[in-house]
Structure 1
Amino acid sequence: MFVLWHYFVFICLFHAIFFALSESNQGNERKRKKRREQEDDDNVFGSLMDKNPPDGKQASKGQFPFAISVQYWGFHYCSGALVSPKWVVSSGQCFNDERDTVTGFTLVAGMVDISDPNIQRRNLSKIIMHEKFYIDDERKLLANDIALLQPDFEFPLNSVIRPVKLPRPRQTFKGIGTLIGWTSHRPVVISLQYVDARLLTAKKCLQSRRNWPVDIGYAYHNKSMICAKPMYTIIPLCVGNTGSPLLHDNVLIGLSSTGANPCKANTQKVFIGYYTKISRHYSSGVNETITGSP
Structure 2
Amino acid sequence: GADGLEQAGWELGLLGSIPGSGRATRRILNGQDAKDGAWPWQVSVRMYGSHICGGSLISESWVVSAAHCFDPRSTPELLASQCQASRPCGALLGTCSLTGYFRIILHPNFNSSTFLADIALVELEKPIAFTAAISPVCLLDASVRVPAGTPCWVTGWGNMWSGMQTPCSGCP
For normalisation by structure 1, the TM-score amounts to 0.39
Structure 1 residues 55 and 181: alpha-carbon distance in aligned structure 2, compared to 1, 3 A threshold? closer
Q: Looking at both structures, which has the greater relative contact order when contacts are Cα pairs under 8 Å and sequence separation is at least 6? A: 2
2:57 equivalent to 1:86: no
Please identify which structure carries the higher strand content. 1
Is the CA contact 1:70–1:78 (under 8 Å) kept in the aligned structure 2? yes
The CA RMSD over aligned residues, in Å, is 3.1
| 2:95 match | 118
Once residues 146 and 55 of structure 1 are traced to their aligned partners in structure 2, the CA distance between those partners, rounded to angstroms, is 22
The letter of the residue matching 2:107 is H
Who wins on radius of gyration, i.e. which is larger? 1
Is the CA contact 2:46–2:52 (under 8 Å) kept in the aligned structure 1? yes
TM-superposed deviation, 1:55: 6.4
Equivalences for 1:63-142 in 2 at 5 Å? Answer: 63-95=38-70, 97-98=71-72, 101=73, 103=75, 105-109=76-80, 110-113=82-85, 114-136=91-113, 141-142=114-115
TM-superposed deviation, 1:54: 7.0
Runs of 4+ aligned residues of structure 1 deviating over 4 Å after TM superposition are 237-241
Per-residue CA deviation, residues 91-149 of structure 1 (Å, 9 max, x unaligned), is: 01112x32xx563x21112233432123332012210111222232xxxx221111001
| Residue from 29, 35, 38 that aligns with 1:59 | 35
Once residues 157 and 127 of structure 2 are traced to their aligned partners in structure 1, the CA distance between those partners, rounded to angstroms, is 23
* Secondary structure class of the residue paired with 1:149: strand
- Structure 2, unaligned runs of 5 or more: 1-28, 86-90
- Structure 1, unaligned runs of 5 or more: 1-52, 185-232, 242-262, 264-294
Per-residue CA deviation, residues 15-51 of structure 1 (Å, 9 max, x unaligned), is: xxxxxxxxxxxxxxxxxxxxxxxxxxxxxxxxxxxxx
Once residues 77 and 142 of structure 1 are traced to their aligned partners in structure 2, the CA distance between those partners, rounded to angstroms, is 16
The aligned length equals 132
* Secondary structure class of the residue paired with 1:93: helix
For normalisation by structure 2, the TM-score amounts to 0.63
* Secondary structure class of the residue paired with 1:143: coil
Structure 1 residues 147 and 123: alpha-carbon distance in aligned structure 2, compared to 1, 3 A threshold? same
The letter of the residue matching 2:146 is T
The percent of aligned pairs where both chains have the same amino acid is 26
